[in-house]
């Protein structure tokens, strides 16, 4: 039985630029984690990166042009909320959407350095997390501090559709067909500029 409120996956990032890899993991997350919808949270900036991204309006327009799916919304909610860190954003979204089951989505590269995020333990303990494998990041993610600290909260990939149905802490690592797309590579190749 479905809940009365849609199960909502949240994929945050600078999307500088958004690319087919983002589209691919979003489609896989919808299917594998049993999500009703996904919101792309295009951030104003990334506190872990030294250089700021391209202007937000350009990234929003580019993301909307590449991610065209009836169950995916590209949003600038972080800029409108004035939040800088994921935990702040999640607290605000949970407050504004009571009863909505959220699932935080991330690539395996982010799980590998998740312990560097502001209030990462709060995130882990308050929102189920769906981790999608990315090229070259599987071992680092599975042996990361977050994976070790919350090893008892991991559910197997074959049970991925149950991720949103239980309380946090709860996380699932799934292997998906790989794509080599990378925002960094697109910027370096001059295929996206500021």
For domain 8-188, the CATH architecture is 3-Layer(aba) Sandwich (3.40)
For the cut 80, the answer to whether the pLDDT of residue 140 exceeds it is no
DSSP state of 16: T
Residue 22 to residue 34: CA distance in whole angstroms? 18
Q: What is the chain's percent helix, strand, coil content, to nearest 5? A: 45, 15, 40
Cα–chain center distance at 111: 10
Please, which pLDDT band fits residue 45 given cuts at 50, 70 and 90?
A: confident
Please, which pLDDT band fits residue 183 given cuts at 50, 70 and 90?
A: very low
The answer to whether the beta carbons of residues 160 and 170 sit under 8 Å apart is no
In a 10 Å sphere around its CB, with 0-12 CB exposed, 13-18 middle and 19+ buried, how is residue 186 labelled?
middle
Tell me, what's the pLDDT at 178? 58
Report residue 34: phi and psi, to 5°. 65, 40
Residue 192 to residue 45: CA distance in whole angstroms? 16
For the cut 80, the answer to whether the pLDDT of residue 18 exceeds it is yes
pLDDT tens per residue across span 51-109: 678 899 999 999 999 999 999 999 999 999 999 899 999 999 999 999 999 999 998 88
For the cut 90, the answer to whether the pLDDT of residue 179 exceeds it is no
Average pLDDT over residues 108-135: 91
Please, which pLDDT band fits residue 159 given cuts at 50, 70 and 90?
A: very high
DSSP H/E element including 173: strand 171-174
pTM over 0.75: yes
């Amino acid at each position: 039985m479905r809940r009365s409120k849609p199960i909502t996956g949240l994929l945050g990032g600078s999307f500088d630029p958004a690319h087919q890899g983002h589209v691919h993991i979003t489609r896989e997350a919808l299917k594998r984690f049993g999500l009703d919808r996904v919101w792309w949270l295009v951030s104003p900036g990334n506190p872990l990166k030294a250089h700021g991204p391209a202007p937000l309006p350009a990234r929003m327009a580019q993301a909307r042009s590449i991610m065209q799916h009836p169950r995916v919304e590209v949003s600038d909610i972080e800029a409108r909320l004035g939040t800088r860190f994921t935990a702040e954003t999640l607290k605000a979204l949970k407050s504004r959407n009571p009863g909505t089951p959220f699932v935080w989505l991330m690539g395996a590269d982010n799980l590998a350095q998740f312990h560097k995020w502001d209030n990462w333990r709060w995130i882990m303990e308050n929102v189920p997390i769906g981790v999608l494998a990315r090229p070259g990041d599987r071992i680092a993610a599975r042996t990361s501090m977050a994976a070790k600290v919350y090893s008892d909260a991991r559910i197997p990939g074959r049970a991925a559709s149950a991720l949103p149905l239980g309380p946090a802490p709860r996380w699932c690592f799934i292997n998906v067909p790989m794509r080599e797309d990378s925002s960094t590579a697109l910027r370096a190749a001059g295929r996206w500029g500021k």
